[in-house]
């Protein structure tokens, strides 16, 4: 069997499970590398294309994107451009995903008919379209068959759509049963926080090394960033719950997923024990939150009736000024020479203006885009269908929470046979931890807050029976109550993208595809051991977000088990 993606620091041996703590290296290429199609060439699509090229043993062979500039830009950088071609060849570029589906059906017919020079098939797709499109695209890829799928988070924008996707994937597995696993697939979700070296080590310390014994309480914070929140959740794609989803889903679903990964999921995905794979499910879910700051009542008096930054008398003194953030900012704007995110989200073709007309031309074009505005007579449907990055953040049409807290509780729930003093199979010296095996009563508190200096640099306090941990984006500090010893771990950061999580997820997904395609591994084994996230975990973490939203709206503490039975199992029946 071919070596895996990661090299362990302790032994220098390859580890299939993606839990290695040593240097992350690009896996060796197979004779027939996984061929990857990127559906959606926005910022996430570009990220996965770059990670595929630099950190995986796959190759990007096609792009689907309605915007001509984005489509050609990704292709020139990752598909036909590196081969010295100015234009795409057959099967390399599509304007929309139905075009790819139609082409692929025809391509397969041509191959079956024995036609010469039929392009090789795509093995896997990265779905990076708008959140509300995920269900349609996933269902189409599943129906097409034969494709491994990675979908950017969230899975979908409603619980109904999440359940429909889950059922489609399960139907596909059932249809493939008895035909050999070659026709099955692996499925991954863009919960990139699971794949950063930092969080991989944190989980190992907690669940394998048990450095603080059983976990009693976790307090996890996601600081979104004062200007980042306005970019994405006041002016951008995810500002309206009706057209996107609640911010707890669109911004923080992978934070909820990480909490469940640490407190609910099995310690090992390789264990053959049924007990070891039984999740410790939450007991109650509660949440509170609201849109606190970005509303008209908070608008500075000096701004008067202005609705756009470029015509606002208070613009020069406002930290949210679109001109300041996107044009003049010396850290992240055009003034710093930055033409990637967030500037490229405002104007995807900003680089073309800079190349053809120089910096002044790019700035003029950007200012023109920022000056676009709407008035009281503009139909709401027109306002909702596009972004307005020059709009006053206190006069926007946003309604999603900019501050929210979620509290999860677990009851003590030992598995059968684990409370006996005679033989519980554990070698831990703590008898309480031994008997409960991470299934004791515990609490997790999550806080998503917009007004922060930190930009998505999460931090977590974890309190256990034998010690406590503080983890930020760079270090993991362990304090041992028994010895008084303090240990600081500094996991490597493979890349800036979610602390290496972007590269890690891409590597593990494509490695799983490679193992199935080239090395005879069953998809269910690759899903469990290499991707390290099951379909059940994906649907559970998304469902918990919707449960938290139900709790917030009803101002109630929700019992998880009956809610799950009614809202999820009812849809999956």
> What is the DSSP secondary-structure string of 381-397?
HHHHTS--TTB-TTSS-
Residues paired with residue 408 on neighbouring β-strands, in sequence order: 285, 444
In this model, does residue 118 exceed pLDDT 70? yes
How does DSSP classify residue 237? T
97 CB neighbour count, 10 Å cutoff: 22
In this model, does residue 564 exceed pLDDT 90? yes
In this model, does residue 20 exceed pLDDT 70? no
- Going along the chain from its start, the domains and CATH numbers come out as 6-193+502-529 (3.40.50.720), 214-291+399-414+434-465+539-572 (3.30.360.10), 309-384 (no CATH)
The pLDDT assigned to 271 comes to 62
CB-CB contact of 245 with 154 (8 Å)? yes
Question: What is the rounded CA–CA span in Å between residue 18 and residue 191?
Answer: 14
In this model, does residue 137 exceed pLDDT 70? yes
For residues 277-286, give the mean pLDDT: 94
Percent of the chain whose predicted confidence (pLDDT) is above 90: 81
**Could you report the per-residue pLDDT of 149-189, keeping only the tens digit for each?**
999 999 999 999 999 999 999 887 766 655 443 347 899 99
Can you say whether the dihedral through the CA atoms of 446, 449, 454, 455 is positive or negative?
Answer: positive
The pLDDT assigned to 434 comes to 61
In this model, does residue 330 exceed pLDDT 80? no
User: Which of 174-188, 288-302, 354-368 is least confident?
Assistant: 174-188
The pLDDT assigned to 22 comes to 43
Higher model confidence: residue 388 or residue 11? 388
In this model, does residue 426 exceed pLDDT 80? no
Instruction: Name the token pair of 241.
Output: 């719950």
The pLDDT assigned to 267 comes to 81
For residues 531-536, give the mean pLDDT: 94
Tokens 């990220």 sit on residue: 47
In this model, does residue 333 exceed pLDDT 50? yes
User: Which of 106-115, 166-175, 214-223, 538-547 is least confident?
Assistant: 166-175
CB-CB contact of 287 with 281 (8 Å)? no
- Average pLDDT over the chain reads 90
The pLDDT assigned to 182 comes to 39
The pLDDT assigned to 328 comes to 86
Query: Three-state SS for 49?
Result: helix
Instruction: Name the token pair of 117.
Output: 């020079």
Helices 535-554 and 253-263 pack at an angle, to 10 degrees, of 120
For residues 562-570, give the mean pLDDT: 95
For residues 107-129, give the mean pLDDT: 97
Question: What is the rounded CA–CA span in Å between residue 560 and residue 76?
Answer: 49
Question: What is the rounded CA–CA span in Å between residue 338 and residue 346?
Answer: 12
Question: Which pairing describes strands 403-410 and 284-290: parallel, antiparallel, or unpaired?
Answer: antiparallel
**Could you report the per-residue pLDDT of 235-264, keeping only the tens digit for each?**
999 999 998 999 999 999 999 999 999 999
**Could you report the per-residue pLDDT of 74-106, keeping only the tens digit for each?**
999 999 999 999 999 999 999 999 999 999 999
Question: What is the rounded CA–CA span in Å between residue 91 and residue 291?
Answer: 45
In this model, does residue 12 exceed pLDDT 50? no
Question: What is the rounded CA–CA span in Å between residue 495 and residue 199?
Answer: 14
**Could you report the per-residue pLDDT of 438-454, keeping only the tens digit for each?**
899 999 999 999 999 99
Question: Which pairing describes strands 284-290 and 558-559: parallel, antiparallel, or unpaired?
Answer: antiparallel
Q: Is the pTM of this model over 0.85?
A: yes
Question: What is the rounded CA–CA span in Å between residue 368 and residue 441?
Answer: 57
Q: Which residues contact 334 (CB under 8 A, 6 or more apart)?
A: 326, 327, 328, 343, 350, 359, 362, 363, 366
CB-CB contact of 57 with 27 (8 Å)? yes
């Amino acid at each position: 069997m071919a070596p895996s993606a990661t090299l362990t620091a302790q032994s220098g041996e390859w580890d299939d499970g993606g839990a290695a703590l040593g240097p992350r290296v690009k896996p060796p290429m197979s004779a027939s590398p996984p061929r990857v199609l990127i559906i959606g060439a926005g910022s996430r699509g570009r990220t996965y294309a770059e990670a595929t090229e630099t950190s995986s043993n796959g190759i990007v062979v096609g792009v689907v994107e309605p915007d001509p500039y984005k489509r050609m830009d990704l292709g020139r950088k990752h598909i036909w451009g590196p081969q010295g071609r100015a234009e795409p060849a057959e099967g390399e570029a599509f304007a929309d995903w139905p075009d790819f589906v139609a082409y692929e059906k025809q391509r397969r017919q041509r191959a079956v008919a024995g036609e010469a020079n039929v392009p090789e098939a795509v093995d896997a797709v990265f779905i990076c379209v708008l959140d509300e499109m995920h269900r349609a695209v996933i269902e189409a890829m599943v129906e097409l068959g034969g494709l491994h799928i990675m979908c950017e988070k969230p899975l979908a924008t409603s619980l109904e759509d999440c359940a429909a996707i889950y059922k489609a994937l399960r139907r596909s597995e059932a249809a493939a049963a008895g035909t050999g696993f070659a026709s099955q697939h692996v499925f991954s979700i863009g919960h990139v926080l699971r794949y950063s070296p930092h969080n991989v080590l944190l989980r190992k310390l907690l669940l394998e090394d048990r450095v603080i014994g059983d976990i009693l309480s976790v307090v996890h914070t996601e600081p979104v960033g004062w200007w980042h929140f306005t970019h994405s959740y006041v002016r951008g794609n995810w500002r309206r719950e009706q057209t996107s989803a609640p911010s707890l889903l669109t911004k923080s679903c992978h934070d909820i997923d990480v909490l469940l990964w640490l407190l609910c999921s099995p310690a090992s995905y390789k264990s053959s024990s049924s007990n070891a794979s039984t999740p410790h499910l939450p007991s109650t879910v509660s949440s509170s939150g609201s849109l606190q700051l970005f509303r008209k009542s908070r608008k500075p008096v000096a701004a008067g009736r202005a609705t756009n930054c470029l015509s606002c008398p208070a613009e020069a003194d406002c930290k949210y000024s679109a001109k300041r953030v996107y044009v003049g900012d010396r850290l992240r704007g055009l003034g710093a020479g930055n033409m990637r995110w967030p500037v490229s989200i405002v104007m995807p073709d900003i680089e073309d203006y800079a190349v053809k007309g120089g910096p002044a031309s790019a700035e003029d074009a950007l200012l023109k885009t920022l000056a676009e505005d709407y008035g009281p007579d503009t139909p709401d449907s027109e306002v909702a269908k596009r972004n307005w990055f020059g709009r006053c953040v206190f006069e926007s049409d946003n309604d999603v929470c900019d501050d929210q807290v979620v509290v999860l509780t677990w009851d003590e729930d030992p598995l059968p046979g684990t409370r006996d003093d005679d033989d519980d199979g554990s070698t831990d010296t703590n008898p309480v931890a031994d008997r409960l095996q991470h299934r004791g009563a515990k609490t997790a508190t999550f806080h998503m807050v917009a007004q922060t200096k930190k930009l998505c640099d999460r931090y977590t306090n974890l309190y256990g029976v034998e010690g406590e941990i503080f983890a930020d984006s760079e270090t993991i500090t362990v304090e041992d109550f028994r010895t008084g010893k303090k240990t600081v771990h500094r996991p490597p950061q493979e890349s800036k993208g979610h602390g290496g999580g972007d590269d890690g997820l891409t590597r593990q997904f494509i490695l799983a595809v490679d193992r199935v395609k080239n090395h005879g591994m069953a998809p269910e084994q690759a899903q469990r051991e290499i991707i390290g996230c099951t379909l059940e975990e994906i649907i559970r973490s998304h469902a918990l977000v919707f449960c938290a939203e139900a709790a917030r709206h009803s101002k109630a503490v929700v019992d998880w088990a009956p809610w799950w039975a009614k809202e999820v199992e009812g849809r999956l029946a």
